[in-house]
Structure 1
Amino acid sequence: MRHSLPLAPQFYVTAPQPCPYLDGRFERKLFTALQGEGAEKLNNALSRQGFRRSQNVLYRPSCADCTACLSARIRVADFKKSRSQKRVLKRNADLQRTATSPWATEEQFALFRRYLDARHADGGMADMDIFEFAAMIEETPVKSRVIEYRESAETPGSVRALIATCLTDVLDDGLSMVYSFYEPERIGDSLGTYLILDHVAIAQRLGLPYVYLGYWVPGSRKMGYKANFAALEIYKGGRWVDIGDPKDHETETHPLSVDPIAEQVARIQLPDTRSG
């Protein structure tokens, strides 16, 4: 028997798991499949509502007793580099950028493994093999690019070392940095910050208003650096607002203040995916 895809996206909730950002808490995600002819429109619409893409799934934190994870984006037109960020650009001036179709390579995977082993050895991706890595990069139903950063060649034709890679979605209103990784031995070069700065530069040239950074978690050391970018907005209370003082968002959320899943889903604005 043939089964057609549902006209409207179906939303599901994951089982609770230990939170990777805040000790003693549990995370839960609200998610939906990203597939079919309407994938591009759905990715655009839900990204504007705090969702993130992972392969062919869109998800947003929906924890039972916490709302600490806040989607963050940079307002490109108002962004101004700080002095320290200008120094980061100078330290990484030797890097050259190349954008390609989403295709995984063994060189990328080797860098990815070095990055995980040095920075996230106890994380959820720690056991990822090359086949799972390839799926992360290549299984995308939307407009995506792999952006590689290599050292400048000392001599013409010489092999240039791969220093950083970012899987990036091109949305109708910006660039979404899906996942990035970089050479852990370049300690002190602030490569994570450099990748964000370069994506802001790309968005400026393309005339795109935002760079989506994923989630910022107040109180998490892993995510704290995102608050250092000017013109940063967070998705809070169903709308995008200026981050203001990051300390204003550190208040713990009481479980009774978290809206039920049904109410959260009811407020999601879906795009019209009908043709024409």
Structure 2
Amino acid sequence: MSDLATLRFFSTPAHACSYLEDHQATTLFVDPHARITPALYNDLTRMGFRRSGDYLYRPHCGPCQACIPARVRVMDFSPNRSQRRIMARNERLRVEVVEPRFTNELYQLYSRYIERRHGDGDMFPPSQEQFASFLMSSWSDTRFCCFRDEDDQLLAVAVMDQLADGLSAVYTFYEPNRPELSLGTYAILWQIRHCRDKALPHLYLGYWIRRCRKMRYKEAFQPLELLRQDVWGEYP
């Protein structure tokens, strides 16, 4: 059995940063052969690691330190006026929480989302293999939260992992042709409420990057806590 004391880590060579132009990045990975238990996954998440498929990683870029782990303090969260409007706009959506799976319906939504919203990123072009290897894991307690309208059309999917002290928002993909619904924001608001219903104190949102527009949206969910020098503290 692996634990933090015996765990091995590997780092990648420097490569182009996905978030900041003209920057080089290095990624630290947990030994892919390690046995990841729920307790170990929780400890690593609290240390700023994220899951991609079966892999656990965190940025390890020396002096840059631009990627800062972020989590919402759920019990103290209160939606602002804009968020309340988004919640009202989507109140008729039905949410079905299911085991991770591959279906053509899920994949078609994922594919449209990647093509329309991330056509210039590392995840383009999408593929069925990418869908499974990125979102699913052989060891995590993962759920797909499927948001459907009154006609049963699938509009969004929030992929989340259950932890001892919260939920990890792994990824959300949604219908790119419905921008008026603000589905990405609504998925986070729903997960915050789900945490509260389950008496879980934190929703882990991944990395906040001040200089990257796509990663600054996390600032809207207050109180937000950031991991700096291995200590969680309140934003900013």
| Superposition TM-score tier, normalisation by shorter sequence | over 0.9
- Conservation of the 8 A alpha-carbon contact between 2:54 and 2:136: no
**Residue of structure 1 equivalent to 2:9:** 11
Amino acid at match of 1:130: Q
Alignment TM-score, normalising by the size of structure 1: 0.81
Q: Tell me the SS of whatever aligns to 2:161.
A: strand
In structure 2, what is the equivalent of residue 191 of structure 1?
A: 183
Paired residues for 1:142-181 under 5 Å: 142-153=140-151, 160-181=152-173
Query: Given that residues 18 and 26 in structure 1 are in contact (C-alpha distance below 8 angstroms), is that contact kept between their aligned partners in structure 2?
Result: yes
- Larger of the two Rg values belongs to structure: 1
3-state SS of the aligned residue for 1:45?
A: helix
Q: What is the alpha-carbon distance in structure 2 between the residues aligned to residue 200 and residue 38 of structure 1?
A: 25
What does 1:100-115 correspond to in 2, within 5 Å?
100-115=98-113
What residue in structure 2 maps to residue 230 of structure 1?
A: 222
RMSD of aligned residue pairs (Cα, Å): 1.8
> How far 1:52 sits from its partner (Å)?
0.5
Q: Which residue of 2 aligns with 1:204?
A: 196
> Aligned AA for 1:15?
P
- Match of 1:188, SS state, is helix
Deviations 1:188-219 (A, max 9, x none): 32211111100000000000000001111011
> Where do 4+ consecutive residues of structure 1 move more than 3 Å?
4-7, 33-38
Q: Measure how far apart 1:39 and its partner are.
A: 2.4
Q: Distance in 1 between matches of 2:32 and 2:143?
A: 17
Q: Is the 8 A contact 1:103 1:137 kept in 2?
A: no
Letter of the 2:160 counterpart: T
Could you list the runs of 5+ residues in structure 2 that have no partner in the other structure?
Answer: none
- Cα drift, residue 51 of structure 1: 0.7
Change in CA separation of 1:24 and 1:92 when aligned onto 2, cut-off 3 Å: same
Question: Contact (CA 8 Å) 2:115, 2:125: kept in 1 or not?
Answer: no
The residue number in structure 1 matching 2:122 is 124
> Which 10-residue stretch deviates more, 101-110 or 28-37?
28-37
- Identical aligned residues as a percent: 38
Whether 2:234 is the aligned partner of 1:242: answer yes
| Maintained 8 Å contact 1:34/1:43 | no
